[in-house]
Amino acid sequence: MKLLFIVDPLAGLKPYKDSSVAMMRAAAACGHAVFAAETRQLCVKDGIARTACGALEVRADDDWYRATQGDVHALRDFDAVVMRTDPPVDTDYLLATHLLGIAEAQGARILNRPAALRDFNEKLAILNFPQFVAPTLVSADAADIGHFLTEHRDIIVKPLTEMGGSGIFRLTQSDLNRNAILETLTQHGRRVIMAQRYLPAIKDGDKRILLIDGEVVPWALARIPLAGETRGNLAAGGTARAQPLSARDREIADTIAPWARTHGIFLAGLDVIGDCLTEINVTSPTGFQEIATQTGHDVAAQFIAAIERGCSRFSGVQPRPAPCG
């Protein structure tokens, strides 16, 4: 296969932990041609969605890639285009999804589907599954959030557009800074945010559960917060511990997996604290390398095998009986 990965600048990717690097290594190990581009290189010329991109020679060590001189390719000429650009989902990101949507209409296979990347905010998507969600309020009104705090006494507030734990605060009724925090997060009532009842189970980790083309990866990655911290995100200093799925984890994942597949979400990362779903990540879910290192389960190989199966359904070519590597 000929695979294009749309990623952040290659030089900034950390080969020991980045899931996009793991995907590209797994693709190369299976003999596939790997190409990389950034969203700024997408274009439409003569009515065809294209990108400037370079072919990569991918390696297993820290000096993990060599790029050839770039050329311009039609996106529909790749067997799959994997969108792996990190949030925020800002204007530039949304414009990139529109260009990818044009490519999709011309026959390109885009993972995840551009419409899904636009339609499902990673915080708000959980509201499609209220049976798994802790008490939640979405509002820009500080008074509404104050009433929510009075009702639940201990809450988390967070912006809807950030990642990696950025902008997340824990508020209690005795917090002297609560008004200032809410004014800042809501931009004095102009920006909608999310408030949720605080979940003490965060001490046991914010669990990442991966879904790949409707299949549930059998290991969760629990991100354990630092002492005195309420955020388990690895970007906020949390430590990662792979663990088997609990019965509740499996119930949540098995419920969401067919929904995700139906909506063109090839790869999703569910965040679960205790028994409650807190996010559905669709832009650039991570955790591949940590799970593989700690359990031996090669998530990246599973991901590439799922792409192969999808391409075989589209083209009629039979896939290999098992993932390589």
Does residue 236 have a pLDDT over 80? no
Give the up-direction half-sphere exposure of residue 30: CA atoms within 13 A in the CB hemisphere. 26
Strands 33-37 and 2-6: parallel
- Residue 21 within a domain: yes
Please give the pLDDT value at position 317. 45
Q: What percent of the chain has pLDDT over 70?
A: 94
CA–CA separation, 139 and 191 (whole Å): 8
**At 93, phi and psi to the nearest 5?**
-65, -45
Mean pLDDT of the chain: 93
- Residue 322 within a domain: no
CA–CA separation, 190 and 139 (whole Å): 10
Q: Which among 173, 198, 223 is the end of a domain?
A: 198
CA–CA separation, 160 and 275 (whole Å): 22
Choice between 226 and 318, residue whose per-residue pLDDT is larger = 226
Choose among 231, 159, 174: nearest CA to 199: 231
Q: What is the pLDDT of residues 64-115, one digit of tens each?
A: 999 987 899 999 999 999 999 999 999 999 999 999 999 999 999 999 999 9
Say if residue 227 is exposed, middle or buried (CB neighbours under 10 Å; 0-12, 13-18, 19+): exposed
Q: What is the pLDDT of residues 263-307, one digit of tens each?
A: 999 999 999 999 999 999 999 999 999 999 999 999 999 999 999
Check whether residue 109 and residue 6 sit in a common domain.
Answer: yes
- Residue 43 within a domain: yes
- Residue 122 within a domain: no
Check whether residue 105 and residue 171 sit in a common domain.
Answer: no
Query: Residue 5: what residue type?
Result: F
Check whether residue 9 and residue 101 sit in a common domain.
Answer: yes
Residues with catalytic function: 123, 158, 208, 223, 231, 271, 279, 281
Check whether residue 159 and residue 98 sit in a common domain.
Answer: no
* Secondary element (H or E) of residue 48: strand 48-58
Check whether residue 268 and residue 174 sit in a common domain.
Answer: no
**At 86, phi and psi to the nearest 5?**
-70, 155
Please give the pLDDT value at position 206. 95
Q: How confident is the model at residue 311 (pLDDT cuts 50, 70, 90)?
A: confident
Does residue 231 have a pLDDT over 80? no
- Residue 128 within a domain: no
Total tally of structural domains belonging to the chain: 3
Please give the pLDDT value at position 161. 87
Check whether residue 220 and residue 176 sit in a common domain.
Answer: no
Check whether residue 56 and residue 86 sit in a common domain.
Answer: yes
Please give the pLDDT value at position 325. 44
CB atoms within 10 A of CB 188: 11
What CATH code is carried by the domain that includes residue 154? 3.30.1490.20
Check whether residue 154 and residue 230 sit in a common domain.
Answer: no
Q: Which among 176, 198, 220 is the end of a domain?
A: 198
- Residue 176 within a domain: yes
Does residue 154 have a pLDDT over 90? yes
Does residue 48 have a pLDDT over 50? yes
Give 202-238 as a DSSP string. GGG-EEEEEEETTEEEEEEEEEEPPTT-S---GGGT-
The answer to which of 122-136, 216-230, 236-250, 311-325 has the lowest mean pLDDT is 311-325
What CATH code is carried by the domain that includes residue 107? 3.40.50.20
Check whether residue 51 and residue 102 sit in a common domain.
Answer: yes
pTM, 2 dp: 0.92
Q: Strand pairing partners for 65?
A: 58
Q: Which among 167, 183, 198 is the end of a domain?
A: 198
Angle of CA points 285, 288, 289, to nearest 5°: 135
The answer to which of 104-118, 180-194, 308-322 has the lowest mean pLDDT is 308-322
Q: How confident is the model at residue 232 (pLDDT cuts 50, 70, 90)?
A: low
- Residue 264 within a domain: yes
Check whether residue 269 and residue 216 sit in a common domain.
Answer: yes
Check whether residue 210 and residue 194 sit in a common domain.
Answer: no
Check whether residue 98 and residue 157 sit in a common domain.
Answer: no
- Residue 310 makes CB contacts below 8 A (sequence gap 6+) with 80, 109, 213, 266
What CATH code is carried by the domain that includes residue 262? 3.30.470.20
CA–CA separation, 45 and 102 (whole Å): 12
Question: Residue 193: which domain range?
Answer: 135-198
- Residue 166 within a domain: yes
